[in-house]
A and B are shown apart, each in its own frame.
Chain A
Amino acid sequence: MAKGIRDKVAILGMGCSKFGERWDCEADDLIVEAYEEALKDAGIETSQIEAAWFSTAIEEQHVGKSGVPLAMALRLPYIPVTRVENYCASGSEAFRGATYAVASGACDIALALGVEKLKDTGYGGLPQRGRGALNSMFWANVSAPGSFAQLAAAYRAKHGVTREDLKKAMAHISVKSHDNGSRNSKAHLQNKITEDTVLKAPIVAEPLGLFDCCGVSDGSAAAIVTTPEIAKSLGKKDLITVKALQLAVSNGQEAQHNAWDGSYFATARAAAKRAYQEANIDKPREQLSLVEAHDCFSITELVTMEDLFISPEGGAVKDVLDGFYDADGQVPCQIDGGLKCFGHPIGASGLRMIYEIYLQMQGRAGARQRQQEPVRGLVHNLGGFPHQNVCSIAIIGKHGA
C-alpha cells in the first residue's frame, strides 16, 4: 500500500485574482494578477520554478489549447508546462500535478495555475458546447443546472423529504454563502440575500431557482508548492502541507448500471474514503475544521455533506438548517462564499478553494477569518454531472497535524 502524499509537500505561496465580471481583462491579465500575489507570498523568483501545471476547462472561449498561454503570460523560461482539463475539477488537477512532481523529487518548486474567462459568450450561465461528436447525438439535452437538479428529485424520493423542506434547506445554503461572500472583497457576489428572495426566484431547472445556482465568473488562482524542507530553508514557519489528494472518476456505472439511485455522488464517497485514510482522519465530523465544497448548486452542497461522511445519510437537511455549516457553526462550509458567491471560473476553482483553506490556516482571512483556529480543511472539487463526473478531494492542514 502506498504511503500517500501526507506532509510530503508544503504550500509555499498562493494567489487569487478578484473573481467576477472582469470585462476589462484578458485571461493573461487574470493569470498575472493571481501569479504576482503567489510569487510575492512565496518569496521567490520566477526562475526558481521548475515546472508548471495549467488548468482551463473551456479554453476555446479564451486562451486556446496547450501550456503555451501560461508560459507566454508569465514568460516562463522554457520549463515544462502541462495543460490539464478534467471538467470543473481542473484546478485541483493542476494542483495534483505540481504536488506529485514535488513529492516525486522530480522538481523542487512547482507552480499550479488555473484561469477561466467565461463572461465573453454573450449570455449568462456556462457556455453551450459540444460533448464529443457521438455523445452529442444521443445524450439528453442536459445543462449543468438540469443535471444537478435531478439530485433533488432522487434525494426527495429516497429520503421522503417534501419539496418545501428541501427548498428551505437549499435556501439556507445560499443565504449562508451570500452572508459569507459579503465579507470577501475578492468575491464575485458580495450582497446578502434573504430566504424569501431565494424561494421566490425564477426556476432555472426544477427545483433549482436562480439563487440555487452559482455564478459564472472570470478569475484565476495559483499555488506554488515545494517540499517542507525547502519551505523551511526559504524561511517559512508554521507550514501548511498537503494531507491527501484523491480523485475518483465515473466509469459509467452510475449512468448505465442500476446500482446507483441518483441521490448522491458515488465518486465523492470513494474519493472521501481514500482521502481520509491518506490524511489519517477517522472522524471527519470532529476532525475537519473547514470545508470548501463544490457548491455549483445548493443541492450539490447538501448531498455532498453526506458523501463526505460529515452529515449522516439523510441528515444533511437537519444539519444545514441547524447552522452546522454556517460561518459560526461547527464545520463552516464555504466560509469565503463558495462557488455560489466567490464565483466559479472553472479552471481556477479548485485552486481558489485551496487558497481559502491556506489563508484560514494562517489567520490571514480578514473579516471572514474563522475564530477557532483551523487545523484541517477539506477541498471538494467536482466536475461533470451527478451520473457521470470527476470528483477531487484535497485535504490541507498544518504540518504534522
Chain B
Amino acid sequence: MVGIGSFGGYIPRLRLSRKAIVDANGWFNGALRAYAKAERAICSWDEDALTMAVEAARDAFADRPRDGFKALYLATTSAPFEDRQNAGILAEALRMGTALNTMDVGASQRAGTTGFIAALDAVAARGGPVLFVAAEKRRAPAASPAELLYGDGAAALILERGDGVVKFLGSRSASVDFVDHYKGKGREFDYGWEERWIRDEGYMKIVPPVIAGALQETGLKAMDIAHFCMPCTLPRVVQGIAKQLGFTEASVRTNLDGLCGDTGVAHPLIMLVHALQEAKPGERILVTSFGNGCDALIFEVTGALPAMQKARRGVVGSLKRRKEETNYSKYLAFNDLVKMERGLRSEVDKQTPLSILYRNKDMLHALIGGRCERCGTVQFPKTNICVNPNCRAHHTQVDQPFSEFTGRIMSFTADNLTYSPEPPAHYGMVQFAEGGRMMIDFADVDSGHVEVGMPMRMVFRIKEVDPARGFTKYFWKAAPLGDEKEV
C-alpha cells in the first residue's frame, strides 16, 4: 500500500478584499459586481510559488527528518524559472540533500493531480518517502473575473509505503485536449473561452466518467465518499456532477471561494489538506481536478490521522492567519500589473554572479551557518575562525542550519529611505535562542506593531528581483512567530 504520511499547507497572510477590486474596476465591467463579497489570498511582494512551496513543505515536515527522500516533485504553472529546475531550489531550501530525484510538473491546471499520481506511482514502484508539493501564484489582467476568483497558496504531501494517515485506494485519468483557456509562449496572461461551453462540453462531459471509473476501480459507490474535493468556480458545476453521480450533498466540500480563492494547480491539494484536517478515520476522500482532461483519486483515512490534525498549520491554520488588505493598488504593484515610479534608488544593478551563488548556496538557500566544534558557539555566516572572542579556533566550524531557529528582535527599524517594494522596509537584529544572530530583513510585519523582544521565525522569501535579467534572488527573512509556536 501507498499512503500519505504527512501533509502541510500554506496560504499567504494577505487577503485582498474583493470589494476593493470591484470598487476599482466595476465601472468598466459591471458583471464583476457579482463577486464583490469576501476575499482572496494574495502573496506579499516577496512571495511566489516557490516560497509558498517551502512553507507548505516545512509544515508537512514538522519535526520529521528530511534526509532519505527518494524524490521531490513540484507542481505549478507559475514557477519563477522556465529553465532552471524550481524543484531543485525547493530541495535546497528544505535541506533535503542532493541524492533525490527532483522534477517540475506544470503546463496544465491538472498538473497538481497528475504530478500527485506520478508521485504515488513512484512510491509504489521504488519506495518512498517522496515529497510532493503544489503551489500557485497566477497573474490575471486587471478587471478580469480571474483577478477576483484566483488565489495564491500551496500544499505539500509526504508519500510513503504503508497506510500513512490516509491510504491511497486508486485513481483514474483522462487526457482530453479541451482548451478552456491557454497561455501561449511568452504571454503574460491566460486567454479563455466562453464559460457555458466550458461547463456543458467540458466539466459536465469529461469529469463524470473519470470519477465513475475511479469508483469502479476502487470498488466503491458515490455514497461511500465522505469528502468530495473538486475545484471549480463556475456555478452549479460541482453540485451538478455530484447529483448526476449520486454523491450526498454533504460530501461536496467547499471550494474555499471567497476565503483563499482558486489556487490553480495547488487547489485540489489544498482542498485535500483542508479535508484531512476535518476527516475522521474510515472516511473516504475523492480528489478531482480538471484541465486538458481530468484526474480522480480516492483515499481512505486511517486511525493515524487524528493525532496529526492539530499538529499542522495546514489550510485551516493558514486561513486563520489572515490580514485584510483593502488597497487594490498595492496588489497591482506587488504583481507588476501597473507601471510604478519606483525612484532612482531602485535602479542599482542587481546582477547575481552565478558562481558566487553556487559557492554559497547552502548559506543563501538553506540558511546554513556554523557551529564551533570546540566551544559550541553558533554563528551566521559560517567562517574560518570562530567568532567567540574567548575561542577564536581555526577551521572548527561544522554546518549549523538556522532555518528552524526562533529568535527575538534585539533592535529594528522601519526604513522609509532605502528602496523597498513595500515601504517602510523593516529589518533588524534577531538573536536566536540557540545562539547566533543576524541583521536581517523582516517579512509579514505591520508598521507600528514591531517591538524589541518580539519572537520571530525564519521564512524563505524573495530577496529581490533583477528586472534587467529576469532573475529572482531568494534568501531568508524573519517573520513574527505569532501563534505558530512558542519560543
Contact = CB atoms under 8 A, between A and B. Distances in A.
Interface of A: 121-123, 125, 128-130, 133-134, 137-143, 145-147, 149-151, 153-154, 156-157, 202-206, 208, 252-253, 255-259, 261-262, 385, 387
B254 interface: no
Contacts of A153: 411-413, 428, 452
Closest 4 CB pairs of A and B: A146-B415, A150-B411, A143-B418, A140-B427
Nearest to B352: A137
The CB with the most chain B CB atoms within 10 A, among A122, A123, A257, is that of A257
B437 A139 contact: no
Q: Chain B contact residues: over half helix, strand or loop, or mixed?
A: mixed
Contact of A140 (B356, B357, B440): B440
Interface of B: 343-345, 347-349, 352-353, 356-357, 360, 363-364, 377, 379-381, 383, 387-389, 410-420, 424-425, 427-429, 431, 435-441, 452-453, 463, 473, 475
B431 A258 contact: yes
A143 B412 CA distance: 12
Contacts, number: 132
Contacts of B412: 150, 153
Given A123-B345, A255-B439, A259-B389, A137 B360 contact: yes
Nearest to A143: B418
A344 to B, nearest CB: 15
A204 B416 contact: yes
A262 B411 contact: yes
A206 B357 contact: no
A262 B410 contact: yes
A205 B424 contact: yes
The CB with the most chain A CB atoms within 10 A, among B360, B389, B429, B452, is that of B429
B473 A137 contact: yes
Contacts of B379: 256-257
B414 to A, nearest CB: 4
Given A137-B357, A140-B427, A257 B417 contact: no
Contacts of A147: 413, 439
Nearest to B435: A258
B220 to A, nearest CB: 52
The CB with the most chain B CB atoms within 10 A, among A151, A156, A157, is that of A157
A205 B463 contact: no
Contacts of A202: 416
Contacts of A261: 410
26 contacts: A125-B417, A129-B348, A134-B360, A138-B381, A138-B463, A141-B415, A141-B419, A141-B425, A146-B413, A146-B425, A149-B413, A149-B415, A150-B412, A153-B413, A157-B453, A203-B414, A204-B417, A206-B415, A252-B383, A253-B387, A256-B380, A258-B435, A258-B437, A259-B389, A262-B410, A387-B439
Contacts of A204: 415-417
B416 A205 contact: yes
A141 B452 contact: no
A124 to B, nearest CB: 9
A133 B452 contact: no
A125 B428 CA distance: 21
Nearest to B447: A206
Contacts of B440: 140
A362 to B, nearest CB: 39
A286 B310 CA distance: 65
A121 B413 CA distance: 25
A145 B463 contact: no
Contact of B417 (A139, A140, A146, A387): A146
A317 to B, nearest CB: 18
Contact of A137 (B364, B427, B435, B439): B364
Given A129-B348, A257-B389, A151 B411 contact: yes
Contacts of A133: 353, 356
Contacts of B364: 137-138
Nearest to A255: B439
Nearest to A136: B350
B345 A150 contact: no
Contact of B475 (A130, A137, A150, A255): A137
A86 B105 CA distance: 50
Nearest to B369: A256
A267 to B, nearest CB: 14
A137 B475 CA distance: 8
A322 to B, nearest CB: 27
A281 B389 CA distance: 28
B413 A205 contact: yes
A66 to B, nearest CB: 23
A202 B352 CA distance: 35
A285 B399 CA distance: 48
Given A141-B427, A143-B418, A154 B411 contact: yes
Given A141-B419, A153-B412, 18 more contacts: A121-B344, A123-B345, A137-B357, A137-B473, A138-B364, A138-B463, A141-B441, A143-B418, A149-B415, A153-B428, A154-B429, A202-B416, A205-B415, A253-B387, A256-B437, A257-B377, A257-B379, A257-B437
